Amino acid sequence: MLLGVCGGIAAYKMAALTSTLVQHGAIVDVIMTPEAERFVGALTFSSLTARPVYTSLWDAPERIPHIRLVREAQAILVAPATANTIAKLANGIADDLLTTALLAARIPVIVAPAMNSAMYEHPATVANLATLRARGYEIVEPERGFLAERESGVGRLAAEARLYDALALALARRASLEGTRVAITAGATREAFDPIRFVSNASTGATGIALAREAALRGAEVTLLLGPTQLEVPAGVRTLRFTTAEQLHALAMEHAVGADIVIATAAVADWRPSERAASKLKKSDDDLTVRMVRNPDVLAAIGERKGETFLVGFAAETDDHEAHAREKLARKRLDAIVVNDVREERGFGTGENTLALLWPGEGRRSLGTAEKSILAARLLDAIEDLRRNR
């Protein structure tokens, strides 16, 4: 574990949590901000952990501590998280060891705010916490009670049991798919009718990329089949590229069939031009007619061969959303289907989306409206629940 202690009066409570973690077998590294040292000494934590406490970027600089510490840890807890540190994280400011390490972190980050209620409820702090939630940080909300200023209100650091549970949940989620083979299709297909023009759609692959990243964080062996996109692919995820539906079909037959979980988010064109011109078609006064033929149904093809695979499809609909999705669920032999409303291209891109998960027997779980990284975590939670109960 990596524990980041900031300069609030509740800093002393982190000594008790550190002791609890150590007693439960955790190896704990502690980073203290300079302000935290005004409330509790580094010696307290080093005595409890039997490890060095880090307070500066220049502690053992030859080991590059802001990288090494987050690479060795499985989860990070920032507690008490002050308004100042929260603002830095939300805005990408890295001016001390803790904020620099957090900027380099690719592991679960849990933030436990603690401050006066006036600071906690200030619009700037509210907006900064919303930004962190949208990036996938877990926020352990403060409690209401007696504050250091002899006032009562919200802002008291969450109880030790809540902080411990948040860390335990982050670790359980991180390892929950260990040894599981997950294949994800993502992005749009492009069906060309001359060397520079094609038929496609607005999908960017953002949802599939978010799912691949989340599945990898949970320990899965992930294969991402990805269409044309400008988005970056997750580190450590095997990524295979396609352009056309036929190319995706070939990749899926080789790499998705037989996986433990397949999540098909790709927006596959149902038709392709019957012919592709060898040269660019020149503009003229005549209308252009392009004859379209059916593409292979990639999801149905996986469904026909799925065996023990848990197969999840996506239904991007413009009307009668859940009725159309349930028909697709049965027809393509899916275990579950995610449905969303894409009227006016909503849901495409890197912003928020609104999703619901359906499964046979009228099963339904709303995944809500959120950033795609958060929806990815909610969807994988739901899939894991369904697999356990299947």
Q: Which residues are known to be catalytic?
A: 201
CB atoms within 10 A of CB 18: 21
How many residues are present in the chain? Answer: 390
Rounded distance, CA 54 to CA 67, Å? Answer: 13
Tokens of 31: 């980073």
Q: What angle do CA 200, 202, 204 make, to 5 degrees?
A: 105
Contact, 293 vs 272, CB < 8 A?
yes
Contact, 350 vs 374, CB < 8 A?
no
**Tokens 């061969």, residue located:** 305
Strand partners, 15: none
Rounded distance, CA 246 to CA 160, Å? Answer: 54
Q: What angle do CA 50, 55, 61 make, to 5 degrees?
A: 95
Contact, 111 vs 89, CB < 8 A?
yes
| CB-neighbour burial class of residue 282 (10 A; exposed 0-12, middle 13-18, buried 19+) | exposed
- Helix residue ranges per DSSP H, the chain: 13-23, 42-49, 65-72, 83-91, 97-103, 117-120, 123-134, 160-175, 206-217, 245-255, 298-304, 321-331, 372-389
Contact, 134 vs 90, CB < 8 A?
no
Contact, 264 vs 379, CB < 8 A?
no
Q: Is the peptide bond before 80 cis (omega within 30 degrees of 0)?
A: yes
Q: How far is CA 225 from CA 101, 211, 228, 267, 348, in A?
A: 31, 12, 10, 12, 18
Rounded distance, CA 329 to CA 115, Å? Answer: 48
